[in-house]
Amino acid sequence: MKKLLIALAIIVGLIVIFGLMLASGYNRLVALEQGVDQAWAQVQNVYQRRADLIPNLVNTVSGAANFEKSTITEVTNARASVGQVKIDPTRAPDDPQQLQQFQAAQAQLGSALSRLLVVVERYPELRANQNFLTLQAQLEGSENRIAVERRKFNEVVQSYNTQVRRFPTLLYAGMFGFHPKPYFQADPGAEKAPTVQFDFSQQPSTPTPGPVQ
């Protein structure tokens, strides 16, 4: 009888220890997932900040004489495409394809904005327009914030994914709905160094010396 009680006590002790470990691991996953969701909310905020600048930017450049309509249309359409990608704003995406679609739409918008700023170089009145210069500075600030928040998001996702895959957490994480989350990937072409080309065709030629007087 005494041996049976000792065995039961050992079993109960092991169950308690396992329960405490399970509760601790679960709480750890909850905290990490909350961190991922918070980082995702920040990513959404900085992308939205950029999107909110676009209507004013479009209105400003549209006021320039003979500004290229195709460039304005491209930016407007790209912004509309971003709005068509639906991701729960309160939670980080669990589907890699969904995040890839979101990133592709945002990259398309960023590319359209870059082309617009290149076209602006041909319009001196815009480069002297204080409203445009302010918007340009705000866009540049937004791009920097986007890069920072994307990096932070990937860092917290890495911590979360590491915990999900770590033993013994991996034994029960899936049962409680905790699964690895996707990362932001480098934008297409980001791994390649930009090609710099110089156009010497417009340089003045060396004058031919005339006859000595």
pLDDT at 205: 40
- Read off the pLDDT of residues 98-142 as tens digits, 9 standing for 90 and up: 999 999 999 999 999 999 999 998 899 998 999 999 999 999 999
On the question of pLDDT at 200 being above 80, the answer is no
pLDDT at 188: 57
Whole-angstrom distance, CA of residue 44 vs CA of residue 152? 13
Rounded to the nearest angstrom, the gap between the alpha carbon of residue 121 and the centroid of all alpha carbons in its chain is 27
On the question of pLDDT at 211 being above 60, the answer is no
pLDDT at 9: 79
Domain 2-176 belongs to what topology?
Four Helix Bundle (Hemerythrin (Met), subunit A) (1.20.120)
Q: What are phi and psi of 45, to 5 degrees?
A: -65, -45
pLDDT at 86: 84
Whole-angstrom distance, CA of residue 56 vs CA of residue 173? 47
pLDDT at 182: 95
- Read off the pLDDT of residues 12-71 as tens digits, 9 standing for 90 and up: 887 887 777 788 889 999 999 999 999 999 999 999 999 999 999 999 998 887 888 999
DSSP labels, 104-120: HHHHHHHHHHHHHHHHH
pLDDT tier at 89, thresholds 50, 70, 90? confident
- Read off the pLDDT of residues 137-195 as tens digits, 9 standing for 90 and up: 999 999 999 999 999 999 999 999 999 999 889 989 999 999 999 999 876 544 443 33
Give the dihedral of Cα atoms 28, 29, 35, 36; nearest 10 deg: 160
Q: Would you mind telling me the total number of residues written for the chain in this entry?
A: 213
pLDDT at 208: 42
HSE at residue 159, side-chain half, CA atoms within 13 A, is 16
pLDDT tier at 212, thresholds 50, 70, 90? very low
Tokens of 107: 């990259």
Q: Which residue in 183, 61, 30, 188 sits closest to 133, CA to CA?
A: 61
Please report which residue ranges of 63-129 form alpha helices under DSSP H: 69-84, 96-120, 124-127
Per-residue CA distances from 193 to 38, 90, 189 (Å): 33, 36, 8
Percent of the chain with pLDDT over 90: 60
On the question of pLDDT at 204 being above 80, the answer is no
Tokens of 86: 């639906």
Residues 6+ apart with CB under 8 A from 27: none
Per-residue CA distances from 117 to 1, 58, 65, 66, 210 (Å): 85, 11, 16, 15, 44
Tokens of 169: 């957490």
